[in-house]
Amino acid sequence: MLIFDLMFWWRKKNITRQMEYININTITMVLIILAGIHYTTFTKSMVSAGAYPTPVKQN
């Protein structure tokens, strides 16, 4: 976030273009990270529940 603020301050002329670019990048990054976390937690919970066959058999 600090880097983005510095970029904004450094490029005040192209602030709207920078904002659009940074907003798109940050939104996509956050969505990808959230989707990955959600996917991993969901699959772990499903595997622990016994819905998916795990390669390592747990006794």
Among 30, 29, 8, 27, CA closest to 17: 8
pLDDT in tens, 2-56: 666 766 666 666 666 667 777 788 888 888 888 888 888 877 777 777 766 656 6
Cα–Cα distances in angstroms (integers) from residue 54 to residues 28, 37, 43, 50, in the given order: 31, 19, 11, 8
- Output the pLDDT for position 36: 86
How far from 36 is each of 18, 44, 59, CA to CA, in Å?
27, 12, 28
Q: What angle do CA 19, 24, 26 make, to 5 degrees?
A: 90
Q: Whole-angstrom Cα distance, residue 40 to residue 20? A: 30
Q: What is the pLDDT of residue 22?
A: 75
